[in-house]
């Protein structure tokens, strides 16, 4: 039986792992055979079928995005647009009464993942646990949809933790501006059944590239019964559970009102603060009592600094959480799918919140995007370049003028780098991107289809807003239009249909 090709990569800098921490090799080499790394260092003594010299570049482990945008992101529509509850992003009482409906067709739902997964790979992300918005859904995600999504991830070569999102409720906006809750317990449990079926059928599919996960929507949209069943199923299947919590004052107050506990206190009651629990975002807590619950349970927080900073919110503080022993991973959660940007902004935000530069370092952020993400998933074969680890490898070009003169490649990338400085990516030993081109993807056609589909999403805002106003009037540009069309015109007349 023929062995797999043995590939060797060279670059001016290589991030290896010495068993305890990342270490930097100058003029380093990485050799892998099939899906596994054989060697990291300098002067590999064995035979290599093909050497690839990337020159002035940083070879490192692929990034792990635990709240990876799997959508055509709608937050660009909410930026500086006033109260987003009135713009048709949230369900209105009218919309709920007439019956929620899908904004996209089945094929469009699957396409949004193809678009997003391409963006993730393009930005150096090799392992993703996707997230999408339920506001645009008739209810939640489906088994059939995710069977197709698993195929898309495998085709592109992305390592993905997948499962249909499920929920037992949804907040909606009343005419007087207050929020209320709509519950459908049976539908939530049916969604969990679909998630279990997906896990049993797809966990380990495509040679292990696809793994299953239990992905309930948000803590305030899940009933006690749904989360109790989720906790039990997680134990039975040894499945990771990701549950968004502690992300707004409104959520915190609602959980206290409904459940009599802080969000983390309630999850502790439900046995959902264990090592298999991944919790975006951990910002609003009761304080030390809640943080101690995280430490004692071993749950991981998924930090998404950029999306919250846009609304003036931040974790307080990354360094303190880490010093307490809380494992932190990173997520993008919004466009762009750039973890380098999240590391840079996360570092700056942490230092502003902490009032010093001592508690959080650049390496802390890099570790969260690699080793922290791997720990959250229970994987000691991801997030590092070491013999025996998976050959999930990225190559970042260090020759860009915007990076400035180099001293430490990681510091330069965190200070000035971009996700699209990633020029090559290998996942499970397969080259999925070379010279910045994701294999098999026509970027121009992909972007054109995304633009057309985004128009569909924009139009759907009218359905959810009170009185079904013209969708064109729901959004305003940063700079007012100078012509007579004003805000009633499509935002991108060259590429957005008029009807």
CATH number (domain holding residue 124) = 3.20.20.140
Classify residue 26 by its DSSP letter.
Answer: E
Split at pLDDT 50, 70, 90, the class of 483 is confident
Residue 498 inside a domain? The answer is no
For residue 486, pLDDT beyond 50: no
- Among 409, 324, 405, smallest CA distance to 362 is for 409
Output the pLDDT for position 476.
87
Classify residue 402 by its DSSP letter.
Answer: G
pTM higher than 0.85: yes
- Rounded distance between C-alpha atoms, residue 332 and residue 313, angstroms: 15
Residue 392 inside a domain? The answer is no
Residue 300 inside a domain? The answer is yes
For residue 7, pLDDT beyond 60: yes
pLDDT by residue (tens digit) across 151-192?
A: 999 999 999 999 999 999 999 999 999 999 999 999 999 999
- Rounded distance between C-alpha atoms, residue 69 and residue 50, angstroms: 35
Residue 406 inside a domain? The answer is no
Q: What are residue 475's phi and psi, to 5 degrees? A: -125, 145
- Among 399, 422, 353, smallest CA distance to 125 is for 422
Output the pLDDT for position 497.
44
Range of the domain at 245: 62-378
Residue 11 inside a domain? The answer is no
Q: What are residue 195's phi and psi, to 5 degrees? A: -65, -40
For residue 37, pLDDT beyond 80: yes
Q: How many alpha carbons lie under 13 Å from residue 285 in its C-beta half-sphere? A: 22
Helix, coil or strand: residue 141: coil
Q: Average pLDDT in the 77-91 region?
A: 88
57 neighbors 26 (Cβ within 8 angstroms): no
Split at pLDDT 50, 70, 90, the class of 135 is very high
Q: Average pLDDT in the 199-224 region?
A: 97
Residue 449 inside a domain? The answer is no
Beta strands 36-41 and 22-33, pairing class: antiparallel
* Residues forming beta bridges with residue 125, ordered by sequence position: 63
Output the pLDDT for position 82.
84
Residue 291 inside a domain? The answer is yes
Domain count, the chain: 1
For residue 323, pLDDT beyond 70: yes
Residue 323 inside a domain? The answer is yes
Split at pLDDT 50, 70, 90, the class of 496 is very low
């Amino acid at each position: 039986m023929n062995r797999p090709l043995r590939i060797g990569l060279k670059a001016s800098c290589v991030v290896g792992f010495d068993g305890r921490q990342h270490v930097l090799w100058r003029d380093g080499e990485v050799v892998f055979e099939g899906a596994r790394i054989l060697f990291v260092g300098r002067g590999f003594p064995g035979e290599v079928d093909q050497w690839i010299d990337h020159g002035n570049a940083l070879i490192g482990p692929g990034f792990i995005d635990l709240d990876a945008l799997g959508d055509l992101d709608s937050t660009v529509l909410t930026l500086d647009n006033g109260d987003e509850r009135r713009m048709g992003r949230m369900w209105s009482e009218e919309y709920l009464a007439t019956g929620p409906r899908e904004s996209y067709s089945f094929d469009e739902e699957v396409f949004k993942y193809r678009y997003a997964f391409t963006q993730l790979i393009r930005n150096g992300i090799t392992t993703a646990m996707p997230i999408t918005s339920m506001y645009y859904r008739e209810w939640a995600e489906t088994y059939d949809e995710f069977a197709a999504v698993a195929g898309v991830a495998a085709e592109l070569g992305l390592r993905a933790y997948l499962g249909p999102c499920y929920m037992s409720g949804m907040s909606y906006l009343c005419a007087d501006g207050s929020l209320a809750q709509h519950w459908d317990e049976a539908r939530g449990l049916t969604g969990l059944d679909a998630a279990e079926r997906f896990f049993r059928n797809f966990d380990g599919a495509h040679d292990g590239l696809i793994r299953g996960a239990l992905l309930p929507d948000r803590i305030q949209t899940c009933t006690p019964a749904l989360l109790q069943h989720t906790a039990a199923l997680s134990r039975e299947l040894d499945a990771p559970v990701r549950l968004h919590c502690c992300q707004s004052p409104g959520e915190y107050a609602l959980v206290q009102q409904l459940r009599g506990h802080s969000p983390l206190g309630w999850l502790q009651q439900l046995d959902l603060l264990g090592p298999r629990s991944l919790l975006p975002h951990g910002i609003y807590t009761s304080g030390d009592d809640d943080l101690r619950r995280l430490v004692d349970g071993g749950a991981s927080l998924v930090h998404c600094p950029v999306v919250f900073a846009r609304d003036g919110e931040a974790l307080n503080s990354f360094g303190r959480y880490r010093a307490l022993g809380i494992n932190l991973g990173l997520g993008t959660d919004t466009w762009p799918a750039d973890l380098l940007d999240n590391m840079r902004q996360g570092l700056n935000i942490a230092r502003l919140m902490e009032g010093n530069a001592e508690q959080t370092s650049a390496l802390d952020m890099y570790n969260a995007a690699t080793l922290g993400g791997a720990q959250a998933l229970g994987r000691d074969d991801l997030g590092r370049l070491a013999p025996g680890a998976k050959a999930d490898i990225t190559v970042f070009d260090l020759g860009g003028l915007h990076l400035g003169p180099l001293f430490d490649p990681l510091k330069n990338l965190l200070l000035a780098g971009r996700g699209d400085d990633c020029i090559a990516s290998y996942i499970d030993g397969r080259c999925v991107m070379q010279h910045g081109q994701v294999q098999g993807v026509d970027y121009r056609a992909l972007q054109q289809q995304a633009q057309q589909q985004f128009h569909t999403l924009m139009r759907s805002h009218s359905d959810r807003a009170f009185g079904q106003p013209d969708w064109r009037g729901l959004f305003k540009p940063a700079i007012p239009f100078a012509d007579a069309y004003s805000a009633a015109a499509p935002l991108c007349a060259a590429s957005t249909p008029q009807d």
